[in-house]
Amino acid sequence: MKNTSPVSRESHVCPWWLIRTFDNPVRRLFQNPERILQGIVCPGDACLDIGCGIGYFTIPMARLVGSSGSVTAVDVQPQMLAGVKRRAQKSGLFDRIRLHQADASGLHLEGAFDFALVFWMAHEVPDQPSLFQQIYIALKSGGQMMLVEPKGHVKQAAFERTVGIAEQAGLVTASSLSVPFSRAVLMANIDRSAA
């Protein structure tokens, strides 16, 4: 049976056993999560980490949102979410993190969010229009999404197509971002009816 998931296609999803090759302390030297998210993720925010892996960004986001905020870690692989749980418990931040397993039919998000991180995973998604539509719906008016793709995997033209798909879903490009080894933009859910 063919997997038509808007979230993932098994052959394209980074396998859980490979995650440590790019989710390790050396990576912090050039992609420090706190530095990347500083000024975007704020105390009290409700955040999404979509395609969270084992929590490379989830744990720092939980620190940034503080005790009044929350982070929903979303992944299709239960092994990834188990890794987030272990790391969050070890860091004492598990009370700020909600684990959420997406499936073949979608993200199935509940609540309204201030921020969504889509870091190095959109290229794995076969149905990007559905993914970005679900994110758009989940974001509060004025909520932001950071879209980051790896330069080695995603050429500029492909990245621009992905940004265009997110714009068609209703998100507005707010600014380009500088993230090492990446192509990145900050987008927002702008309530056009209020304009």
Per-residue pLDDT reduced to its tens digit, 17-49:
455 555 667 766 788 999 999 999 999 999 999
Spatial distance between the Cα atoms of 138 and 112, rounded to a whole number of angstroms: 5
Spatial distance between the Cα atoms of 91 and 87, rounded to a whole number of angstroms: 6
Q: How many other β-carbons are positioned within 10 Å of the β-carbon of residue 123?
A: 14
Give SS3 for 172.
strand
CA distances (Å), origin 33, targets 1, 56, 118, 163: 38, 8, 13, 22
User: Could you tell me how far CA 52 lies from the centroid of its own chain?
Assistant: 6
- Confidence (pTM): 0.87
Mean pLDDT score of the chain: 88
Burial (CB count <10 Å: 0-12, 13-18, 19+), residue 20: exposed
Which domains are assigned to the chain? 32-194 (3.40.50.150)
In this predicted model, what pLDDT tens digit does every residue of 46-89 receive, in sequence order? 999 999 999 999 999 999 999 999 999 999 999 999 999 999 99
H or E element at residue 90: helix 78-91
Among 27-36, 73-82, 125-134, 147-156, the range scoring the smallest mean pLDDT is: 27-36
Spatial distance between the Cα atoms of 27 and 86, rounded to a whole number of angstroms: 20
* Closest of 81, 128, 78 to residue 106, by C-alpha: 128
CA distances (Å), origin 104, targets 9, 53, 77, 93, 112: 8, 17, 11, 29, 22
